[in-house]
Amino acid sequence: MRIDEAAEAYARHLADVRRLSPATVKAYRSDLAALAASCGDIGLPDVDLEHLRQWLWESVQRGEARSTIARRTAAARGLFAWATEEGYIPTDPSLRLIAPKRGRTLPKVATADTLDQVLTRMAAGAAQGDPLALRDHAILELLYGAAVRVSEVCGLDIGDVDHDRRTARVLGKGSKERVVPFGLPAQRALDAYVVRARPQLLARRTAGGSEHALFLGARGGRIGPRAVYDVVARELGPELGGAVGPHALRHSAATHLLDGGADLRAVQEMLGHASLGTTQIYTHVSSERLAASYRLAHPRA
């Protein structure tokens, strides 16, 4: 069996059996395609530890991030562990493959005042009645108000939102469903979009399949993550001084919740984190901000 053949079979296993998210499966596919290219024409049973180390060293030489190399290490380990269990290879060459330690990078967070200014400006633009402006305002209000992922927003259907209870049912990583609350500003923006903008966008649809989608693109189909990235980058990027994506709104929401005294486990549940340790990074963000304020304000700092 060739490496690329094994990689494709393993990717199907991740999607169909382990039910990992499409984004995770796509990333693993890309990593293992790079491994196959690095190893050349040798078969899967002929790959040894040195081949794997050389492949990772090539990533290091290209200046790839530690997190990327760590993910590639995990992809290789997963592939060879699976291949060993399935009997495709007699021994696992990745057992002694060591991943680099991930450096802790604090997420980029916007202040509450900054987000208030951005969303107020977007609300003023939406008031003019342009359907895309109404949609974009509703999306950013929901990204921040419910602390959801971009994939979760794009996957929402009309029936997933309870406007009376101000909750949305989202499908997170690993196909795990959860219900998240959102505030009155997000409700108002969503109501305005659904009533005034969505019918206009739906009328532009040229193909089927999007009639139940909540957020629609300019041509009437379900909006994709790339379009949401572009909106966030345009509206929030100048305020944060650089490239910024939808996750910045999720980071900001989590940090502001903890700053306001929310319970860490409640925030974990709202974000849909499997591990409390993932949520705890936002306590570090809050601590960093407190320390910065202390250094600026306290006379004996």
Residue 148 is assigned to a structural domain of this protein: yes
Q: Looking at this protein, which amino acid is placed at residue 275?
A: S
Same domain, 187 and 53: no
* Catalytic choice (29, 71, 137, 149): 149
104 is an active site residue: no
Local confidence band at 76 (pLDDT 50, 70, 90 cut-offs): very high
- Of 69, 86, 103, which one is at a domain's C-terminal end? 86
Which helix (H) or strand (E) segment is 170 a member of?
Answer: strand 167-171
Residue 103 is assigned to a structural domain of this protein: no
**What pLDDT, in 10s, does the model give residues 178-226?**
999 999 999 999 999 999 999 999 998 876 667 899 999 998 999 999 9
pTM above 0.85, yes or no: no
- Of 86, 104, 126, which one is at a domain's C-terminal end? 86
* Catalytic choice (166, 178, 247, 289): 247
Residue 130 is assigned to a structural domain of this protein: yes
- Of 86, 120, 138, which one is at a domain's C-terminal end? 86
Mean pLDDT of 25-50: 92
Vertex 239: Cα angle to 238 and 244 (nearest 5) = 70
| Domains in the chain, number | 2
Evaluate if residue 104 carries a pLDDT over 60: no
11 or 66, which is more confident? 11
Residue 22 is assigned to a structural domain of this protein: yes
Mean pLDDT of 254-274: 84
Same domain, 164 and 288: yes
Residue count of the chain, please give it: 301
pLDDT of residue 103: 56
* Catalytic choice (71, 250, 251, 256): 250
* Catalytic choice (173, 188, 205, 289): 173
Residue 99 is assigned to a structural domain of this protein: no
Local confidence band at 99 (pLDDT 50, 70, 90 cut-offs): confident
282 is an active site residue: yes
Q: Are 23 and 151 in contact (CB under 8 A)?
A: yes
Same domain, 52 and 117: no
* Cβ-proximal residues to 163 (8 Å cutoff; 6+ apart), any chain: 187, 190, 191
Same domain, 291 and 157: yes
Percent of the chain with pLDDT strictly greater than 90? 55
173 is an active site residue: yes
pLDDT of residue 291: 59
Residue 270 is assigned to a structural domain of this protein: yes
Evaluate if residue 170 carries a pLDDT over 80: yes
Look at residues 18, 44, 248, 213 and name the one whose alpha carbon lies nearest to residue 140: 248
Same domain, 81 and 199: no
* Cβ-proximal residues to 104 (8 Å cutoff; 6+ apart), any chain: 281, 284
250 is an active site residue: yes
Q: Are 271 and 250 in contact (CB under 8 A)?
A: yes
101 is an active site residue: no
Same domain, 125 and 35: no
Look at residues 126, 152, 128, 151 and name the one whose alpha carbon lies nearest to residue 235: 126
What's the CA gap between 280 and 11, in Å, rounded?
31
**Alpha-carbon separation of residue 108 from 141, 142, 155, 289, 299 (angstroms):** 18, 18, 24, 12, 28
Residue 92 is assigned to a structural domain of this protein: no
Same domain, 116 and 66: no
Q: Looking at this protein, which amino acid is placed at residue 295?
A: R
What's the CA gap between 187 and 134, in Å, rounded?
12
Local confidence band at 287 (pLDDT 50, 70, 90 cut-offs): low
pLDDT of residue 139: 97
Same domain, 74 and 188: no
Chain-centroid distance of CA 4 in Å reads 27
Residue 287 sits in a domain whose CATH number is 1.10.443.10
Same domain, 238 and 200: yes
Q: Looking at this protein, which amino acid is placed at residue 9?
A: A
Which helix (H) or strand (E) segment is 286 a member of?
Answer: helix 281-297
Same domain, 176 and 270: yes
Phi, psi (degrees; rounded to nearest 5) at 167: -135, 155
Query: Residue 35: which domain range?
Result: 3-86
297 or 301, which is more confident? 297
284 is an active site residue: no
Same domain, 268 and 207: yes
Residue 96 is assigned to a structural domain of this protein: no
Residue 47 sits in a domain whose CATH number is 1.10.150
Same domain, 56 and 181: no
